[in-house]
Amino acid sequence: MPKPPSLESLQFAVDAAMGRTPGTLLLKNARLVNVFTLELQETHVLLAGSLIAAVGAEYAEARADAVLDLNGAYLAPGLIDGHLHLESSMVTPAEYARAVVPRGVTGLVADPHEIGNAAGVPGIRWMIEASQDLPLEVWFCVPSSVPSTRLETSGAELGLKEMDDLLQHPDVVGVAELMSFPDILAASAPELSKVLLAEKHRKSPEGHAPTLIGPPLQAYLASGIASDHESTTLQEGRAKLEGGAFLMVREGSTTRNLAALVSLLETKHADRIGLVTDDRLPSDLLREGGVDFLVRKAIALGADPLYAIRAASWNTARHYRLTRRGAVAPGYQADLVVLQDLQGFQATAVYQAGRKVAAQGELVVELPRCTRSAAVSDTVRLPALTEEHLRIPAPTGQVRVIRAIPHQVLTAEERLYPTVREGAVVADPARDLAKLICLERYGKNGQMGKGLVTAFGLQKGALACTVGHDHHNLMAVGISDADLLVAARRLEALGGGMIAVLDGQVLAELALPIAGLITDEPMAVVDAKLQALEAAARRLGVSIPDPYMVLSFLGLAVIPELRLTDFGLVDVRKGERVGLEVTSVE
């Protein structure tokens, strides 16, 4: 990450603006996207090293080491993704930069709670270190949810002391999403103390309030939490805006909420709206892009182009107090995107800190080599297992079943009579009922949660992965118990990853040896393997889109309605464990 400007760099910028010394680059005849006034400005932009020295018509003949005539092309600030989990891309920060920087993304704010849950403080520090010296600025929020709830086993725990230490890192800009909203609503002292910790360091406490409106939302915001990225309906988004939250409009791979919320992207909301990706898969990053895709889609859905760009740059910078970022103006860091048209938002050139880093969709700079460390290795240690461990005794009545919902992180709870054979609950593909397990994978206790899932479409075999939000225990869905065991053992041998198995044979796999979440392979290679996994899932009958991401979220015990962790089934609204069998008093 570029260091704060030095006295010399400020003097250089001032002298260049005053004409006392040449700048480094003069960009002539630009149509500048002014995010302050939301106007297009026909002007010239003078750079002085990493900073913008001046903007104005009077700089047409300014002295500079190099001059580039843009001939009326648009010039916008580099985009900043306001909330995402780098781990969801399954590649290193350098490979993520390779994918998004040529598209005009020059900054992002990452929440490393995935690797934090898997590998603790050493894992978070590895992620911060791996994000240095890139043509992409990466800021971090300290994970507040390691573990996310008391109803799961994670690889590590972060208390207030560990968070306090991490908040002192210069690249840290906030406390990440406080995910256990039932604890916030219960006025839990440990959770509210995390808000105060962020304020102690004058950094932003970030939110996570799915489905909340009315008094629960008011109570959540009364804590002082500053933002939310979980809105899925217009009513919900508007309520959060009215309550003073910074509304992050999300369009991930599974969670696609932009269309429902796009009418809120109005200039009257000024700096109160940002655009975020949260979780995006390699295929979507390569084909659609990062936060640049949200800008394009928002414009296509009718949003004002200038305001869409502002929501993905200046607004996010303002929210996190990122000084000198998010605009093309004197004194700002020269993070710039050259475009031929605003609607398409296709970058023809990208500058980061005054340096040209991409042209015509390709990086033009070298990326540092990522190195692994012991802190993020050997994180998959499973107990001895037999098919008997997967057995679910037959109930006397109905059972709870998780219903997966396409394109949403939300799930629903269904109640029905299971299929029983030889005194045990079994998967029944004819009824679209598959067995679901969550197996503790850090070698701590070997706990396993067992249940059923519907709307997945699986007809045979098994799928499994060590990406299991947010504890990242091993999640697996299967028709065959034998295939579930093969999948688990193979993932242990790989050090983590994703797999499809049929009749004891591996159909496709992706190794994720870095904390069971990340590989150091190129994104294109990862994407090819993911496509093979997707094809294998379809061969097994899976009908739901993005099945591995859906599977990974079935253990997320902080978003309604019903989830499965290694502790068992969790009713998220109640914030407590529930039995598989529905009792007579319910």
Q: Are strands 355-359 and 505-511 parallel, antiparallel or unpaired?
A: unpaired
Residue 309, φ and ψ in degrees, nearest 5:
-65, -40
Q: What is d(CA 545, CA 227) in angstroms, rounded to the nearest whole number?
A: 29
| C-alpha to C-alpha distance for 536 and 473, rounded to whole angstroms | 22
Domain co-membership, 302 together with 437: no
Q: Does 296 share its domain with 425?
A: no
Domain final residue, candidates 307, 326, 345: 326
Q: Which two tokens stand for residue 415?
A: 């109640």
SS3 state at 40: strand
**Domain, as residue range, for 560:** 387-577
**In this predicted structure, what is the pLDDT of residue 530?**
96
Is 1 a residue whose pLDDT tops 60? no
Between 159 and 583, name the one with better pLDDT: 159
**How large is the average pLDDT for residues 510-522?**
97
pLDDT for residue 30: 98
**Does residue 341 lie in a domain region?**
no
CA dist 358 and 367 (Å) reads 12
Question: Do residues 196 and 93 share a domain?
Answer: yes
Spell out the residues 6+ positions from residue 265 whose beta carbon is closer than 8 angstroms to its own.
249, 273, 298, 303, 304, 307, 308, 311
Give the model's pLDDT for residue 148.
86
Verify that 296 and 419 share a domain, yes or no.
no
Both structure tokens of 423: 């005194």
Percent of the chain's residues with pLDDT above 90: 93
What is the predicted pLDDT for the residue at 586? 62
pLDDT tens-place string over residues 499-508: 999 999 999 9
- The β-bridge partners of 497 are 511
Q: Looking at residue 584, what is its pLDDT?
A: 67
Number of domains the chain contains: 2
- The pLDDT, as a whole number, for residue 179 is 86
One domain for residues 400 and 313: no
Residue 317 located in a structural domain: yes
Same domain flag for 309 and 397: no
Give the contacts of 414 (CB within 8 A, at least 6 positions apart): 400, 401, 402, 403, 454
Token representation of residue 97: 């930069």
Q: Which of 301, 326, 351 is the last residue of a domain?
A: 326
What is the average per-residue pLDDT within 542-553? 93
Q: Which two tokens stand for residue 503?
A: 């009749």
Is residue 9 a contact partner of residue 49, using CB atoms and an 8 Å limit? Answer: yes
Residue 420 lies in a domain: yes
Query: Residue 371: what pLDDT?
Result: 80
Mean pLDDT rounded to a whole number for the chain: 96
Give domain status of residue 265, yes or no.
Answer: yes
Q: How far is it, in rounded angstroms, from Cα 135 to Cα 2?
A: 9
Residues 314, 77 contacting (CB under 8 angstroms): yes
On the CB side of 246, how many CA atoms lie within 13 Å of its CA? 24
Give the DSSP letter of residue 581.
B
List own/partner pairs for 128-132 with CB under 8 A and 24 or more apart.
Answer: 128/169, 128/171, 130/92, 130/93, 130/94, 130/370, 130/371, 131/1, 131/86, 131/93, 131/171, 132/1, 132/368
Q: What number of other Cβ atoms are within 10 A of residue 8's Cβ?
A: 9
What digits encode the pLDDT tens for the residues 335-393?
999 999 999 999 999 999 999 999 999 999 999 988 888 889 999 999 999 999 999 99
Question: Would you state the pLDDT for residue 558?
Answer: 87
Going by C-alpha positions, the residue among 497, 302, 267 that lies closest to residue 380 is: 497
Q: Clarify whether residues 316 and 450 are in a common domain.
A: no
In a domain, 348, yes or no: no
Give the 3-state secondary structure of residue 42. Answer: strand
Helix residue spans in 437-561 (DSSP H): 481-494, 523-539, 547-553
User: How does residue 269 score in pLDDT terms, banded at 50, 70 and 90?
Assistant: very high
Has residue 566 got a pLDDT over 80? yes
Give the residue carrying structure tokens 């990452």: 110
Is the domain of 407 the same as that of 302?
no
pLDDT tens column, 135-147: 999 999 999 989 9
Task: Look up the CATH number of the domain holding residue 164.
Answer: 3.20.20.140
Q: What is the pLDDT of residue 2?
A: 56
Claim to verify: residue 105 and residue 242 sit in the same structural domain: yes
Give residue 462's pLDDT.
Answer: 98
Residue 222 domain flag: yes
Query: If you count them, how many residues does the chain have?
Result: 586
Show the 3-state SS of 173-234. Answer: EEECCCCCHHHHHCCCHHHHHHHHHHHHCCCEECCCCCCCCHHHHHHHHHCCCCEECCCCCH
Element (H, E) at 166: helix 160-166
318 and 416 in a single domain? The answer is no
pLDDT tens column, 14-65: 999 999 999 999 999 999 999 999 999 999 999 999 999 999 999 999 999 9
In a domain, 41, yes or no: no
Check: CB of residue 228 under 8 Å from CB of residue 248.
yes
Are 392 and 316 within one domain? Answer: no
Question: In this predicted structure, what is the pLDDT of residue 4?
Answer: 85
pLDDT at 176: 97
Q: Would you say residue 497 has pLDDT above 80?
A: yes
Final residue in a domain of this structure, among 311, 326, 341: 326
Q: Which residue in 372, 338, 310 sits closest to 103, CA to CA?
A: 338
Specify whether 434 is located in the same domain as 563. yes
Please provide residue 142's backbone torsions phi and psi, each rounded to the nearest 5 degrees: -75, 125
In a domain, 15, yes or no: no
